[in-house]
Amino acid sequence: MEIALTPLEFARRTARLHPDREAVVDGPVRLTYGAFFAGCDAWSSALQALGVGVGDRVAYIAPNGLPQLESFYAVPQIGAVLVPINFRLTAGDFAYILNHSGAVVACVHEDYLDAVDGIRGELATVKHFVAIGADRDHRPAGDGWLDYQALHASATGRVTKPAIGERDLLSINYTSGTTSRPKGVMITHRNAYLNTVGTLLHLPMTCADRYLWTLPMFHANGWTFTWTVTAVGGLHVCLPKVDPRVVFDLIARERVTMLCAAPTVLIGLAHAPDELRSAATRGVRVVTAGAPPAAATIQRIEEEFGWTLTQMYGLTETAPFITVCEPRPDHDGLSPEARAVVKARQGVELITSGELRVVDADDREVPHDGCTLGEIVVRGNVVMTGYYNDAAATDTALRGGWFHSGDAAVVHPDGFIEIRDRFKDVIISGGENISSVEVEGVLLRHPAVLEAAVVGVPDERWGEAPQAFVVLKPGMTVAPQELREFTRQRLAHFKTPREVTFVAELPKTATGKIQKFVLRQGRAAISAQ
């Protein structure tokens, strides 16, 4: 008899095999898997008592912690749909997502109660507002907030669990919406299950692993590690906010073996105070994704900390992973610098993700020469079913039976793909394509540079020319011309930034991606003055 492919199966197995094994550490709270799953059942029964049924959407605005982790089991096991919302968004974004998703319950952490309370009058579908972590004296003045802890404690734990189909909707994950309204990516139980299995095939874990939650759980379902860690009976170590001092302390104190981090987090760790870096626990396995990391950052993390870093690539729309930069024997003989260059590539298809190609404007696969630019397209078992309530955007993204990523990449002779840019960020100067990612990677090798972003700006002669925006390391100084010359010595001259502008920080989305359109707009505003 067939059983649906759903991450709920991982919970069933782990509950049976590892009930007494430690499951979650959240500040002073420590739970075994038996206690954790009992808590999930209690919250499921509380939601059903509130009238939540099959297909209803339950939204969360909460940092990494036990209630948020619990949602990835308590909500889907009653056939409801989880909507994990980026808590770094604005109140206006919260209102749009809650309305667009049709959420009937909004579970809100105490840090965001005021923001949501201010928009409650705009919310058409939410029937119940649940406050997480705040006592009555610290809630907004408006009434109508239910208490998460009280509901949880009084729940019976008796759950009616409907039959789950593997193609049933599990979650709606909203994109960051840097230039338009966020889109709701529909992820099925099958999508999540197969991405979890693929992750474990390429990044094996066991019940001895202790995973630190530096990555937000709301971000593409925590890159499915909300289920991956549980699948093997590993330990979830929750971290509500990334602070290098806390990260290094938890790694040592909780004997952490693995974590996931976007490149912006890795940069923060790589340039933490000397006393933190020098005491870093060695042997930690790190997964990075979300944006192409610089080879210099990879090299520093591996050499200085003794950590092993693996890059993966994917999108919210692909649940998320579709490639992994898998290690190969021929990489072992490379110098540390050359190996870091290879590890900065996005790699090859996961065994479970489906078929991936890099194609030109006529949908023909580009040659594997490491030079010819094309768009990454993919089809397979991890691709979303579409954008929620947005048929036009779905048709555009899934045209021709392939998901079109918008990422510009090349394919090397060994089959490894390497992202050169988002297509909208490729700089075309005198008919030549310039990868902003490539130029940024060179700038980040300069000892004074902490972060860098390169964009195309209008040029009368060449059409466009690259301009660099640079954040320097604390206490460091360098002349713009020195950085231009540093780049010129390592790249073709036409790729050298025409200008270098120093900034205190780079504009970023709520998930840490650099907003290059903001830099271009700022440059345009400066030029117009």
Query: Could you read off the pLDDT of 134-178 as tens digits, one per residue?
Result: 776 667 756 789 999 999 999 998 999 999 999 999 999 998 754
210 lies in a domain?
no
Percentage of the chain modeled with pLDDT above 70: 96
For residues 431 and 395, membership in a common domain is answered with no
Query: Could you read off the pLDDT of 220-279 as tens digits, one per residue?
Result: 999 999 999 999 999 999 999 999 999 999 999 999 999 999 888 998 899 899 999 988
499 lies in a domain?
yes
For residues 329 and 438, membership in a common domain is answered with no
Query: Could you read off the pLDDT of 430-448 as tens digits, one per residue?
Result: 667 788 888 988 999 999 9
Q: What is the pLDDT of residue 137?
A: 67
Choose among 326, 323, 428, 333: nearest CA to 376. Answer: 323
Whole domain around residue 464: which residue ranges?
426-528
201 lies in a domain?
no
For residues 409 and 431, membership in a common domain is answered with no
For residues 59 and 162, membership in a common domain is answered with yes
The domain total for the chain is 3
Do residues 7 and 193 make contact, with C-beta atoms less than 8 angstroms apart?
yes
5 lies in a domain?
no
Checking if the pLDDT of 294 tops 90, the result is no
Q: What is the pLDDT of residue 71?
A: 98
Last residue of a domain, one of 186, 215, 232: 186
- The domain that holds 492 is classified in CATH as 3.30.300.30
For residues 400 and 498, membership in a common domain is answered with no
11 lies in a domain?
no
Q: What is the DSSP string of 224-265?
A: THHHHHHHTT-EEE--SS--HHHHHHHHHHTT--EEEE-HHH
16 lies in a domain?
no
Q: What is the pLDDT of residue 179?
A: 52
Over the chain, what is the mean pLDDT?
A: 92
Task: At 236, list the tokens.
Answer: 């979830």
For residues 314 and 380, membership in a common domain is answered with yes
For residues 340 and 432, membership in a common domain is answered with no
For residues 449 and 387, membership in a common domain is answered with no
For residues 287 and 382, membership in a common domain is answered with yes
For residues 383 and 254, membership in a common domain is answered with yes
For residues 373 and 481, membership in a common domain is answered with no
Query: Could you read off the pLDDT of 329-351 as tens digits, one per residue?
Result: 999 889 988 998 899 899 999 99
- The domain that holds 346 is classified in CATH as 3.40.50.12780
The arithmetic mean of pLDDT across residues 65-82, rounded, is: 98
For residues 369 and 485, membership in a common domain is answered with no
Q: What is the pLDDT of residue 177?
A: 55
